[in-house]
Structures are given as C-alpha cells and as structure tokens.
Amino acid sequence: MSIYTKIQQAIARKIGKSTELSHWKDWRWQLRHAIRDIATFERLLGIKFDAERKRELEETIDKFPLSITPYYLSLIDRTNYAVDPVFRQAFPSPDELQVTSCEHEDPLHEDADSPVPGITHRYPDRVLFQVSNICSMYCRHCTRKRKVGDVDSIPGKDEIMLGLEYIRRTPVVRDVLLSGGDPLMLPDSHLDWILRELRAIPHVQVIRIGSRMPVVLPYRITPGLIRVLSRYHPLWLNTHFNHPREITTSAREALSRLANAGIPLGNQTVLLAGVNDCPMIIKTLMQRLVENRVRPYYLYQCDLSEGLSHFRTPVGKGMEIMESLVGHTSGFAVPTYVIDAPGGGGKIPVMPNYLITLATNKVVLRNYEGVITTYQEPEKYEAVFCDRNCADCRLELNMEGTGEYSAVGIERLLSDFHETISLTPEDNIRMKRRSNGRPD
C-alpha cells in the first residue's frame, strides 16, 4: 500500500460516509465531499488554526471561495503544510485580500474582448469559450478569481447557444478553446452536446479543452468520458500541473487514458512564488510530463489579477528557469515562457537572448553553455517581391482553402504588399496635435 493510499483511507474514513476506499475513485463522490470550509479542512487533516487566523481565513473565503477535492487534499504533507506546494495552491491565504494598485479584476480584459457572453475573441483565428464557471478545486492563484465559484455565473444552455451561434457565424474561427471554470465539470452528456455542435461547424478545425481535472481530480477521466472525447477528433487537451508532486499514480493513469485515446496533451504551468519558483522543480516537472506523453506548452508569468501579489515572482526568475531548460534538456520538454499582456494584448513570449549581434552576412550567437559562435549567411539570396499572389508564385502554394491572407500588426510592417510603414498608438500626443492644430 502506498503512503497516499493510507492517507486517502484515513481521509475517507473521517469524511464518514464510507469506511473504506470504495467510493474514493468515484469523481461524483469526490465532488460531493469537496472541502469547502475551514473547520472540515482542520478536522480532515488534524490541523488547528488559532481564532485570529481562522477569522482571517473565513474573511478570505468569503471573497474567494474554497474548494478542495479529497483527492487533492490527500496530497498535502500535513507535517510541513505551511510550505507545501499542494497546500499553497489549494488553501486560502489572507494575503489574497491585499490588492495592490497594479492588480485588476480582469487584467487581461477578457470581458472587453467578449462579443457574446462566454466568448473571448482576441486572436485572429481562435476563441476562448467559457462553458463552465465552476471547478472541483479552486486554485488560489486563479487568473479568473473574479468569476469562479460564483453560482450566478454558471452558463445555462441558452448562453452556450449564444456562444455556438457566434462561432457559427464567424468563419475565421478555426480553433475553439473550451475553458472555464473547468469544462470537465459538465456531465458527459452536456459536454457531448457542446462538442457535437462545434464539430458540426465546418470551419472549426480544432477543438481544445483546458482542464485541471487530471491534476486535482484524475478520476474524472473515466472510460465514459474518453468515449465522448474520442468522437470529436481532432481534439487537444491542455492541463495544468505546477509541481512534480502532483504527478501521482492516479494522475498518470488519467493521462495515459487520454493519450491512448489519441488526444494530444499539453501542459500550462504558472510560475508561483513558494510553489515552483526553482529551476530544479520546473525541470523535473517538465521531464515527468514528457514521460507521461504530455508536451509542456506554456510557462506563465503570474497574472496581475486581484489577490495574487504573494504568488508573483520577478520576470528574471522565469528567465533563469528558461536558461536552465534550453539546451539542458529535450527540446520538447521546454515550454514557451509567456507574459499575458495586461489590457488584452494576449500572450507575449519572452526568451533569453541567444542572438548576440549581426553584420551583413553573419550572425553571432551564444549557446546554453556560453559558447559563442557564428553563422554565415548565404552570399546570394534573391529577395522576391511578394504581392500575395500565391497562384503565380514559384513556391507553388496550390492549396485549396487557405483563404484570404491579410497581414496583422508587425507582420504587416514586414510585408512587401502592404503600404503600412509604422504603427502609432491611438492616443499619440503628436498625432493629436496634428489633427487639433494646437498643442495638447
């Protein structure tokens, strides 16, 4: 018997509805017995907070609700809980009530970029579709803290239909990312309905699901769920492991079921102070993930959402971690480090600099070891003027359905065929002066 099984047995017994582990792997049982108050948490783990602490904790969960699945609770090391990475992700801290001036309810402006409720359409060809506003476990570092657990905001079928309708009438959308909350909180039949509706839309090429279930409630990945998901390929799933301790036997089993069903798996990690802000932890996590057929996708700089300041690290910490990954381990174990731009600019990749300098025919680079090297560029390279007339191009892009091509942003500045030579901020003072004919 593994150590977790003993702890799980003790927790199941204290929950009191069962004397053995027979219900432990039933995800609905887990949801019914999610820990939602401080007293139950204390009782199950045999931890006691003093009255003052308890009052602060109550105040915190009044604003940001508490929910921990018995499974995820069983991963907490209670002998050393204060510094435990699982505890810190799951259990409230009064620090969450400290809101600094740079923090916002909706720092990524997801609501401003929302054409209909539930949809955020930020990028040219894909949308975020929030189909559930509840989770089995409320991550303390959630970027959507403002919304999760709000019982009034569980979208009904009508609201989902509005989202589906928007996607149906917006042919540029070729990729739909189901998010939430956790989409896998929906019953199989409801999820099946949403996926079926999406699959019936001809321009939707790819469907993605973002879910933390493999981490916080791996028993959700049932054969029944796999049968549903398998009907709607190509379907991708991104999950959210933050620490190697989360990769348990049950989590591995869930990942294996998903991978065996042909679902490409990715992982998004958030860099969190006191949880995983260490190159060794992240490297180990990335290696464990690829062992389980999960491709590390993003490493996020912690967002500027309200109540997350105690979780934030300097960007330099992320950079240091990237330096310890690139070259040091398998390329496919290296995620892209991103900062999600406050104000809705989207994810911006940040990487250490490997390009040192360049001359007309030569670039100077450094590698992960600090070796400095040169790359000789071709003597001759004939630049061909591109007018985006692909039918006449020697590169022969004779593909159907590539569609209209209009360059966006920086891509437009680089293109031959577009006349834009500069991009100017909307409220540029110099431009205002020109149009007003007087200084500001």
The whole-angstrom separation of Cα 344 and Cα 120 is 10
Is 438 catalytic? The answer is no
Separation in Å, CA 424 to CA 108, 308, 432, 437 = 22, 33, 11, 18
Minimal distance in Å, beta carbon 327 to ligand PLP? 24
Is 340 catalytic? The answer is yes
Task: Given the residues 135, 182, 277, 302, select the one marked as catalytic.
Answer: 135
- Answer yes or no whether residue 4 interacts with ligand PLP by CB under 6 A: no
Closest by CA to 140, choosing from 285, 275, 330, 12, is 275
Q: Which of residues 165-204 bind ligand PLP (CB under 6 A)?
A: 177
The answer to whether the CB of 304 falls within 8 A of the CB of 104 is yes
For ligand PLP, give the closer residue by CB, 348 or 393: 348
Is 142 catalytic? The answer is yes
For ligand PLP, what does the binding mask look like between residues 322 and 351, x meaning CB under 6 A? -------------------------x----
Is 144 catalytic? The answer is yes
The whole-angstrom separation of Cα 135 and Cα 148 is 7
Ranges of H-type helices in 326-389: none
Q: Which of residues 105-134 bind ligand PLP (CB under 6 A)?
A: 120, 122-123, 126, 128
Total number of residues binding ligand PLP (CB under 6 A)?
7
Is 219 catalytic? The answer is no
Torsion from C-alpha of 428, 430, 435, 440, nearest 10 degrees: 90
Phi, psi angle pair for 131, to nearest 5°: -100, 0
Closest by CA to 254, choosing from 223, 282, 231, is 223
Ranges of H-type helices in 149-248: 157-168, 188-199, 213-216, 223-230
For ligand PLP, give the closer residue by CB, 61 or 271: 271
**Tokens 């027979």 sit at which residue?**
22
142 is known to lie in a ligand binding site? yes
Is 368 catalytic? The answer is no
For ligand PLP, give the closer residue by CB, 61 or 176: 176
Task: Given the residues 88, 126, 147, 312, select the one marked as catalytic.
Answer: 126
Is 293 catalytic? The answer is no
Residues forming contacts to ligand PLP in the complex (CB under 6 A) are 120, 122-123, 126, 128, 177, 347
Binding-site annotation: residue ranges for [4Fe-4S] cluster: 135, 139, 142
Active site members? 122-123, 126, 135, 139, 142, 144, 303, 340, 347
